[in-house]
Amino acid sequence: MTRKQRRLSLIALALAVLGTAAGLVLFALNDSIVFFYGPTDVVEKAIKPGTRFRIGGLVKEGSIQRGPDQTVRFEVTDTNRAVPVTYQGLLPDLFRDGQGVVAEGALQPSGEFRADSVLAKHDENYMPKEVAEALKKQGVWQPSAASAGSAAKPASAEAKPGS
């Protein structure tokens, strides 16, 4: 075997090992990757039942129903479409009608989303980044309500022209 052939076979072996390692890493991460969808995306993309993902939007006004054993049913909406969600457990203190929410779980065959965890905004100026982007995409984002991922500036902090 010549020097050039040895070098090429070494490079080919190194690429094969790297390719195998990358494939194994991607395979291992496949179960832990959780995608984010808005309610319109869930309806339009016809996501298969059992698929784990995060759904985000606003809690639809008047949709919260509390049941036995800390079971709560509500709808997540982007003002275009709504997806029913069921969650069993304690909800965040700030969870209420019209507030931004992100729920993680799986879609059921009935079309209902069964959530494992529910996250609500942490103050009156915060909207989860994913929810804000989904609402912007739908054209219903209200910039006066909040800015994505950060608190809004107080009016006194704004610069006045000519100052």
Question: Please, which residues have CB within 8 angstroms of residue 102's CB and are 6 or more apart in sequence?
Answer: 36, 54, 55, 56, 118, 119, 128, 130, 131
* Token pair in block for residue 70: 């800390």
Residues at the annotated binding site? 122, 126
Q: How far apart are CA 46 and CA 144, in angstroms?
A: 33
Please return the burial class of 57, using the count of CB atoms within 10 Å of its CB with bins 0-12, 13-18 and 19+.
Answer: buried
Which residue type is seen at 114? R
Residues at the annotated binding site for heme? 122, 126
Structural element, H or E, at residue 135:
helix 129-138
